[in-house]
Amino acid sequence: MKPELFPDKIKPYILPQPSGDLIYNCLGCGLEFPIEKLHYTCPECGQVLLIQDRRFQRLKEIPPETWHLIFDYRKMLTLPAMKGIYRFHEFIGSMIPLDAVVYLGEGHTPIIEANLHMQEKTGCRFFFKNDGQNPSASFKDRGMASALSYIHYLIREGLTEDVLAVCASTGDTSAAAALYAAYLQPNIKSAVLLPHKKVTPQQLSQPLGSGAKVFEIPGVFDDCMKVVEALSENYNVALLNSKNAWRILGQESYSYEIAQDLEYDMKDKVVVLPIGNAGNITAVMSGFLKFYDTGIITTLPKILGVQSAHANPVYRYYLEPDAARRKFKPVTVQPSVAQAAMIGNPVSMPRVIHLTKLYNDLSGKQNVFFMEVTEQAIMDWELTANRNGHIACTHGGESLAGLFAARQQGIVHSQEVSIIDSTAHALKFSGFQEMYFENTFPEEFQITPEPALVNRPVLVRPKTIDRFPAPGSSMDADDFKRFVQATSEYIATDLNLKKAPDS
Ligand SMILES: *Cc1c(COP(=O)(O)O)cnc(C)c1O
Ligand SMILES: [Zn+2]
């Protein structure tokens, strides 16, 4: 719909102008720094940053019901800049002009309700929010749309030029970074660092296809992160890891979309997500807090962060109930099917500690929970979900396993409705499904296939015939007839089919 056709009440708000006063805020020393320069950590104390709007109060001058209408009417716009995460412009990067926004189809991923069978199996109602339906097939596109729109803005303002964007990645960050950088070439080039043999072939193909320079590094993600940090401290590069606070800002869109999809009613809602480097859970909490602060939602949903027992530093930290005695200790990770979350020293841990406290305080009760699940449970729940019409990746399986455990432990109640983050598309991690179906998991994973979940292809080559079609060679008509007959009979027998009455 054209902006001039919107109701008069909404018209002034429908296309946002650059507004607000964004600054980097240090979680360590509390200092603030202007956004005209790209910072990843505090120049004073080295702690991670979050972006804050010093004029956030102005957003409270608009009544919550008007905000609902603004976002709902914006759904009808055809302007590309407003079709993705910047539908929530005032909350996501309000100083970015719309013509600097990079939109590649990210955001507004569907929420799909689990069928009755799944609800019975888990003991609760839930939806998957399929973030694998983003352009590079993971939620990372939300943060990259934000980070690259910001860099695009800096370039246009003449504040930077010839950007080399770099990131370390468990696979999906590099796919997203390379994709968005490719769109902005030649102004931006990208280089990605991946742990050798610790990303799937599909994930490796993505930055290669987008034309990024790809470096494979021995070790795990945490090792790559140290190298890329050294690069960003000593050379003129733009770091695109979630250490970059612009990533967090974009990923807040996940919360805003859930609120909008549920008609802004977050009572008795639970949001479940996997934790790796902890950027996503930071963003999800931050997003709900902003909507809560402005009255756009009036309840903070319960948050459930899930980790594999093979990479569980955040879960371990919160095992200590006394906040004063908690001490963060990085863990050495073991192989995990939730490979994109296989991180022992999450960069956003200080943000998680800060926001979890704030979130619980404002909720007036514990409202953020951390769960641990086994590798076996991750695979079993992923495969079960996908046998019931979902497209969950292993991390979606991890989240579902976490929800099930939380339900069993009484952390989630039967009247609550959960939204589960399937953070990537199942296809990116199909290699783990294959290992499960073929029972070829290396020992360290400690996964034994559940026979009822195994599914394998059947090669049909009936013994009654000896000629089969092959590409490039033609077949005798009678041979071909025999092939069709023998093959169809084989399949009919295998499927136990009954003959149609008039055949
Ligand atoms: C990056 C990633 C995660 C972990 O998210 P963090 O923000 O690092 O906690 C989980 N699942 C998938 C598919 C990912 O790509
Ligand atoms: Zn500081």
Q: How far is the CA of 311 from the centre of ligand 1 (A)?
A: 12
pLDDT band at 145 (very low <50, low <70, confident <90, very high): very high
pLDDT band at 491 (very low <50, low <70, confident <90, very high): very high
* Mean of the per-residue pLDDT values of the chain: 96
pLDDT in tens, 231-251: 998 998 999 999 999 999 999
pTM of the model: 0.96
- Which atom of ligand 1 is nearest the CA belonging to 343? 8
Is residue 382 predicted with pLDDT exceeding 80?
yes
C-alpha–C-alpha distance, residues 236 and 214, integer Å: 18
The mean pLDDT of 278-284, rounded to a whole number, is: 98
pLDDT band at 81 (very low <50, low <70, confident <90, very high): very high
Mutate to test the pocket of ligand 1, among 172, 225, 255, 355 (most ligand atoms within 8 A of CB): 172
Residue 200 Cβ inside 6 Å of ligand 1? The answer reads: no
pLDDT band at 501 (very low <50, low <70, confident <90, very high): confident
Look at residues 11, 132, 121, 26 and name the one whose alpha carbon lies nearest to residue 70: 11
Residue 428 Cβ inside 6 Å of ligand 1? The answer reads: no
Q: Which domains does the chain have, with CATH numbers?
A: 112-133+252-345+371-453 (3.40.50.1100), 139-243 (3.40.50.1100), 458-503 (no CATH)
Residue 396 Cβ inside 6 Å of ligand 1? The answer reads: no
pLDDT in tens, 326-361: 999 999 999 999 999 999 999 999 999 999 999 999
C-alpha–C-alpha distance, residues 418 and 415, integer Å: 10
Write down the H helix ranges in 157-198.
Answer: 172-183
pLDDT band at 474 (very low <50, low <70, confident <90, very high): confident
The two structure tokens encoding residue 184 = 């902005």
Report phi then psi at 108, rounded to 5: 55, 45
Residue 136: the pLDDT is 98
Residue 457: the pLDDT is 96
pLDDT band at 111 (very low <50, low <70, confident <90, very high): very high
Q: How far is the CA of 24 from the centre of ligand 2 (A)?
A: 10
Mutate to test the pocket of ligand 1, among 129, 134, 139 (most ligand atoms within 8 A of CB): 139
The mean pLDDT of 50-75, rounded to a whole number, is: 97
% residues pLDDT > 70 (the chain):
100
Count the helix, strand and coil residues of the chain and give each as a percent rounded to the nearest 5.
45, 15, 40
Which of 2-6, 115-119, 264-268, 287-291 is predicted with the least confidence, judged by mean pLDDT? Answer: 2-6
Q: How far is the CA of 348 from the centre of ligand 2 (A)?
A: 15
The mean pLDDT of 468-491, rounded to a whole number, is: 94
Look at residues 247, 243, 227 and name the one whose alpha carbon lies nearest to residue 235: 227
Q: How far is the CA of 350 from the centre of ligand 1 (A)?
A: 17
Ligand nearest to the CA of 423: 1
Q: How far is the CA of 342 from the centre of ligand 1 (A)?
A: 9
The residue to which tokens 């950590």 are assigned: 41
Q: Which residues contact 462 (CB under 8 A, 6 or more apart)?
A: 486, 487, 489, 490
Taking each helix axis as running N to C, give the angle between helix 375-386 and helix 394-408, from 0 to 180 degrees, rounded to the nearest 10.
Answer: 110
- Which atom of ligand 1 is nearest the CA belonging to 273? 10
Report phi then psi at 208, rounded to 5: -65, -45
Spell out the long-range contacts of 297-300 with Cβ–Cβ below 8 A and sequence spacing 24 or more.
Answer: 297/259, 297/264, 297/265, 297/266, 298/64, 298/266, 299/265, 299/266, 299/267, 299/269, 300/266, 300/359, 300/362, 300/363, 300/367
Q: How far is the CA of 305 from the centre of ligand 2 (A)?
A: 27
Contact 433, 383 (CB under 8 A): yes
Q: How far is the CA of 435 from the centre of ligand 1 (A)?
A: 22
Ligand nearest to the CA of 243: 1
Residue 143 Cβ inside 6 Å of ligand 1? The answer reads: no
User: What are the Cα distances from residue 165, in Å, to 86, 91, 340, 405?
Assistant: 22, 25, 20, 40
Number of H helices, E strands in the chain: 17, 13
